[in-house]
Amino acid sequence: MTEGNFVDYVKMHVSSGNGGKGSAHLHREKYIMKGGPDGGDGGRGGHVILRGNSNLWTLIHLKFKRHFKAGHGSHGSSGRSTGADGEDIYVDVPLGTVVRDSESDTILFEITEEGEEIIVVKGGMGGRGNWHFKNSVNQTPRYAQPGIPLEELDITLELKVLADVGLVGFPNAGKSTLLSVLTSAKPKIADYEFTTLKPNLGIVEYRDFQSFVMADIPGIIEGAAEGKGLGYYFLRHIERNSILLFLIPADAKDIVKQYEILEDELRRYNPEMLDKERFVVVSKSDMLDDELKSEIAAILDKDLDANYMFISSVAQQGLIELKDTLWKMLN
């Protein structure tokens, strides 16, 4: 998933259909006098329904289509014939989509399962025909109910990525490089901060045709929870990840300190994030000799409150062991 195609925030206007009018028809037929009321009911107006689709990873298909209007119900007719229901409109969204009322900013619901269907705006009920209202006192009612009017709503769709593993780290920690090596994703890789401007997703292939999803989240900087840099906007994509994989480059001045800063930013954004499983990867370790690696490992064993591993994406060191570790944690 390239960053140019990644759309995770869309506003739209949805409108259901009017209910059809009931019929006030009186039965007329040769040789049948005073046939009485036989007006049918109006049809239901169409709903607008959001449906979960696991084949979608982004909201880009909704970027340029912002208005969805369901069909109106048909009116009732003679012979107690009920009008046709209005056409329902189905809008497919990726799993992990949060739906908000744009005006009040309240969360209406979330789509998290394949095939899950939730009605956003209900179509109006059809009006009842006059045959419903006949009785011993009023044997020839000449009135019927009108249909219930449509509903309209402005909603905001916000995607929170559903990935098994989320990559967390400062800019230039090697997250995009790791994703490009482990998956077929092709994120932009360059030697400057904030190369990644949108989350990138990739599928990591494992043994026996098994796989899991990895997400590269744009780099977090100190102060991201207050809105600095790009991290604050995209931190919500980490909320749905099963495992947080912290990447810290081997040439960092203080690996433990960097981990604590990242951990603190997540805590300040949402304390529940620290309930997730965490694993630390020291990237770019091909620049370390055995003696230096042993010294760093001694410090991490003493001061780091998480399990860790040395890897190098460029030199292909430790990647098989990393996939094995992540698979065990996921299962």
For the stretch 159-168, pLDDT in tens is: 877 678 888 8
Annotated binding-site positions: 169-176, 194-198, 216-219, 283-286, 312-314
CA nearest to 57, candidates 237, 303, 186: 237
Cα–Cα dist 234/224, whole Å? 10
Comparison of pLDDT for 298 and 273, the residue scoring more: 298
| Model pLDDT, residue 251 | 86
| Model pLDDT, residue 85 | 96
Report the range of poorest mean pLDDT among 235-239, 247-251, 287-291: 235-239
pLDDT-derived band at 2, boundaries 50, 70, 90? very low
| Rounded mean pLDDT, 78-95 | 94
Instruction: Give the CB-side neighbour count of residue 317, counting CA atoms within 13 A.
Output: 14
| Model pLDDT, residue 184 | 67
pLDDT above 90: residue 100? yes
Q: How many CB atoms lie within 10 A of CB 198?
A: 22
Task: Show Cβ contacts of residue 217 under 8 Å, excluding neighbours closer than 6 positions.
Answer: 166, 167, 168, 175, 196, 199, 231, 234, 235, 237, 238
Annotated binding-site positions for Mg(2+): 176, 196
| Model pLDDT, residue 221 | 62
Annotated binding-site positions for GTP: 169-176, 194-198, 216-219, 283-286, 312-314
* CATH 2.70.210.12 domain locations along the chain: 9-159
* CATH 3.40.50.300 domain locations along the chain: 165-330
pLDDT above 50: residue 21? yes
Amino acid (one-letter) located at 23: S
Let me know if domain 9-159 sits in CATH 3.40.50.1100.
no
| Model pLDDT, residue 147 | 93
Tokens (6 digits) for 78: 């003679």
CA nearest to 125, candidates 99, 143, 145: 145
pTM value? 0.70
- Among 3.40.50.300, 3.30.460.10, 3.40.50.360, 1.10.260.40, name the CATH number for the domain at 165-330: 3.40.50.300
Cα–Cα dist 326/55, whole Å? 23
| Rounded mean pLDDT, 104-132 | 94
What digits encode the pLDDT tens for the residues 175-202?
888 888 887 656 555 454 444 456 777 7
The strand pair at 211-216 and 200-205 is best described as: antiparallel
Cα–Cα dist 241/258, whole Å? 21
> Which region, left, alpha or beta, applies to residue 316 given φ > 0 means left and ψ of -120 to 50 means alpha?
left
Cα–Cα dist 106/155, whole Å? 10
